Structure formats: C-alpha cells, structure tokens
Amino acid sequence: MSERIAYKIQQIIDNSQAVQMTMIEDVQTEPLSQKQMIMENVGKKLDSETKGQVMPLLEAILQAQPTIKLKSYAHTTVSITMPKNRYEKMGRPQVGEKLYVDLKKY
C-alpha cells in the first residue's frame, strides 16, 4: 500500500555538507462556527415536530457566536537529512514550499 502525501517545509538547516528539512503534513481544516456545530448536533437529537419549534429559537440565541478554526487534525511531521548535492538536484526547495512524500511498507 502506498500513500502520497503533500508536506509543507517548515524549517531548513544547511550546514554546508548536509541539509535537514522539517516538514509538516499539508492539511487544511475548514472554519466552523460554534453556531453551526450546535445546530447540527441539536438537530440530530430532535424529532421533526420539536425541531421545527426549537431550531428558530436556538438560531436566534446563537446568532452572535464567533467563527473559530477547528484544529482537530493531528498533523504528521517529517524530518529528512540529506547530502547538500541531493538537495540541490531537487531544485533547492524553500520554506513554505510543498513536497510530496511516498510512504509504503517495504
């Protein structure tokens, strides 16, 4: 099984002999409002008649809830140390750029 994952370079350390890159999995989480999360969870628990009565009231109460960014995803971090000439053959990727890493069992 092979899985190709994009990693964003966070740090590069160059000691003139070797280059060490620290990368983090490039996964975006979408912003969700507390209102949206509460409305969805309450809606799942109610029958249709009760939902019709409660949801408009709940929506009015939650109108001013802020939008927050959920960070519920645990990112994978990878560090790679390689000879400087190999790093240069890769095109000298810089901090913020993305690289693909193939992971598979050998």
Alpha-carbon span 33 to 35, nearest angstrom:
5
Mean pLDDT over all residues of the chain? 85
Architecture of domain 1-27+73-106: Beta Barrel (2.40)
pLDDT at 1 > cutoff 60: no
Lowest mean per-residue pLDDT among 5-9, 33-37, 72-76, 82-86: 72-76
Q: What is the average per-residue pLDDT within 81-100?
A: 94
Please tell me the predicted confidence (pLDDT) of residue 11. 96
The β-bridge partners of 82 are: 19
Alpha-carbon span 48 to 73, nearest angstrom:
33
98-104 vs 2-14, strand pairing mode: antiparallel
Report if pTM > 0.75.
no
pLDDT in tens, 6-32: 899 999 999 999 999 999 988 776 666
Could you tell me where in the chain the CATH 2.40.50.140 domains are found? 1-27+73-106
